[in-house]
C-alpha cells in the first residue's frame, strides 16, 4: 500500500505526546488524541461501514496492550508517551482457508509502527480478517489487510452563518 493517496505519513505524529487512545466498538479503528489537540486514526484500507464484509479486527503487539489500556478512555494519565519514531511497515503473516479444499499462503500487509521516547521499543497496529464456523469457535478463514494513518479534522467551535444550533451545532462533527 505505502503512502499513496490514503492517509498521511506516520512521520506527522513524531514528537507528539499522547493524551488518550480509543478503540471503536463498531469499526476497526484506533484513534490517537494528542496534547496539541490533533487527532489521528489508524484505519483499514478499503473498509466501508455500509458494506463491512468479512469481520475485521485491529490487532497490536502484546507490549502495546498495557499502554492501550492505560490511555483508553477519558481519564488523565500520569505517564507521558511521546512518539519518537513512526513509519509504515510491511508484515508477512500466514493466512488460511479451511474447508473442502484447504489452502494456506503468506500474506503481506501494511501496518503502522511507532516507538515511544519513554520506552524505546517498537509497537505495531495491523488488521486481521476472520470467519468462524457457526456454533463453533473454529476459525475457518484468516487473512490480513492494510491499514493506514489518517488525520481527523476537528470541528470549528466558531458558528458558521446559516448553521443550525442543537447539540452538534449544525455542521460541527468529526470528519471520518
Look up the domain containing 99 and give its range: 10-152
Tell me whether residue 145 is in a domain.
yes
The predicted structure's pLDDT at residue 12 = 97
Residue pointed to by grid coordinates 464456523: 133
pLDDT, tens only, 67-103: 888 888 656 666 789 999 999 999 999 999 998 889 9
State the Cα–Cα distance between residues 90 and 100, nearest whole angstrom.
Answer: 31
Tell me whether residue 175 is in a domain.
no
Tell me whether residue 96 is in a domain.
yes
Tell me whether residue 35 is in a domain.
yes
Burial class for 84, CB neighbours closer than 10 Å (0-12, 13-18, 19+):
middle
Q: Write out the DSSP string of 97-144.
A: E-SSS-EEEEEEEEEEEEEETTT--EEEEEEEEEEE-TTS--EEEEEE
Tell me whether residue 125 is in a domain.
yes
The predicted structure's pLDDT at residue 96 = 93
Confidence band of 51 (pLDDT split at 50, 70, 90): confident
The predicted structure's pLDDT at residue 137 = 85
Select the highest-mean-pLDDT range: 53-62, 147-156, 163-172: 53-62
State the Cα–Cα distance between residues 122 and 105, nearest whole angstrom.
Answer: 26
pLDDT, tens only, 2-16: 445 689 999 999 999
Would you put residue 167 in left (φ > 0), alpha (ψ -120 to 50) or beta?
alpha
Tell me whether residue 36 is in a domain.
yes
Confidence band of 1 (pLDDT split at 50, 70, 90): very low
Rounded mean pLDDT, 19-42: 93
State the Cα–Cα distance between residues 84 and 79, nearest whole angstrom.
Answer: 15
Tell me whether residue 32 is in a domain.
yes
Tell me whether residue 2 is in a domain.
no
Question: Count of domains in the chain?
Answer: 1
Report pTM. Answer: 0.80
Confidence band of 176 (pLDDT split at 50, 70, 90): very low
What is the grid cell recorded at 43? 484505519
pLDDT, tens only, 95-135: 999 988 899 999 999 999 999 999 989 999 999 999 998 88
Sign of CA dihedral 111, 115, 120, 126: negative
Amino acid at each position: 500500500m505505502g503512502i499513496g493517496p490514503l492517509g498521511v505519513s506516520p512521520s506527522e505524529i513524531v514528537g507528539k505526546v499522547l493524551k488518550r487512545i480509543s478503540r471503536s466498538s463498531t469499526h476497526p479503528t484506533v484513534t490517537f488524541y494528542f496534547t496539541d489537540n490533533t487527532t489521528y486514526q489508524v484505519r483499514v484500507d478499503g473498509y466501508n461501514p455500509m458494506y463491512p464484509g468479512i469481520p475485521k479486527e485491529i490487532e497490536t503487539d502484546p507490549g502495546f496492550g498495557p499502554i492501550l489500556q492505560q490511555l483508553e478512555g477519558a481519564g488523565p494519565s500520569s505517564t507521558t508517551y511521546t512518539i519518537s519514531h513512526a513509519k509504515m511497515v510491511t508484515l508477512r503473516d500466514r493466512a488460511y482457508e479451511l474447508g473442502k479444499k484447504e489452502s494456506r499462503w503468506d500474506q503481506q500487509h501494511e501496518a503502522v509502527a511507532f516507538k515511544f521516547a519513554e520506552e524505546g521499543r517498537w509497537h505495531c497496529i495491523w488488521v486481521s480478517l476472520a470467519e468462524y464456523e457457526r456454533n463453533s469457535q473454529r476459525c475457518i478463514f484468516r487473512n490480513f489487510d492494510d491499514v493506514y494513518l489518517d488525520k481527523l479534522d476537528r470541528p470549528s467551535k466558531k458558528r458558521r452563518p446559516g448553521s443550525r444550533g442543537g447539540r452538534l451545532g449544525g455542521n460541527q462533527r468529526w470528519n471520518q
